[in-house]
Amino acid sequence: SQPPPPMPKVGVAVFLLKGNKVLLGRRLSSVGRNTFALPGGHLEFGESFEECAAREVKEETGLEIEKTEYLTVTNNVFSQEAKATHIVCVFMRAVPADINQQPQNLEPEKCDGWDWYDWDDLPKPLFGPLEIMLQHGFSPFPTT
């Protein structure tokens, strides 16, 4: 019998906001290697977007989050990768529960380390899906 065809997966990525800064880390995973991306990961069976956001941020950075809100969704086909990947990515925003808690690099095989970056002075290169959103003028900050 043949192997099952590849399927799209659901990703959840989190704009963790602190003042006008966002938390980014340089990816070491194969998809988007060496680009700066948000914390996040794959939705598990039965999870809400908020639960997935909190779990992935905790697993990857040790940070607890609150005020978690849905922002938008994008369809991301990574056809150039060695293993073609298709992720429907749900973008959330949140704030750290404790603004004094420092992010830890808890998955050093997947990320070079986390840091806060000024929204007006983001590091390059950004992860493809993020770069495209910014080119379209997307902002994760609440409008007051």
Query: What is the nearest approach in angstroms of Mg ion to the Cβ of residue 1?
Result: 31
Which of 35, 8, 40 is CA-nearest to residue 128? 35
**Interactions with ligand 8DG, residue window 78-107 (CB under 6 A):** 87, 89
Is 133 a residue that touches ligand 8DG (CB under 6 A)?
Answer: no
Residue 6 vs residues 79, 83, 85, 89, 128: alpha-carbon distances, Å: 12, 10, 8, 17, 21
Is 41 a residue that touches Mg ion (CB under 5 A)?
Answer: yes
Stretch that binds Mg ion, among 41-49, 92-100, 118-126, 129-137 (CB under 5 A): 41-49
136 phi and psi, to 5 degrees? -90, 5
Q: What span, in angstroms and rounded, lies between the C-alpha atoms of 3 and 99?
A: 47
Stretch that binds Mg ion, among 18-26, 56-64, 85-93, 115-123 (CB under 5 A): 56-64
Residue 127 vs residues 21, 51, 69, 124: alpha-carbon distances, Å: 17, 23, 21, 9
Would you give the DSSP letter of residue 63?
-
Is 127 a residue that touches ligand 8DG (CB under 6 A)?
Answer: yes
Given Mg ion, ligand 8DG, none, residue 111, with its beta carbon under 5 to 8 Å by kind, binds: none
Q: Which residues bind ligand 8DG (CB under 6 A)?
A: 11, 13, 29, 31, 37-42, 56, 76, 87, 89, 110, 127, 129-130
Q: Which residues bind Mg ion (CB under 5 A)?
A: 41, 56
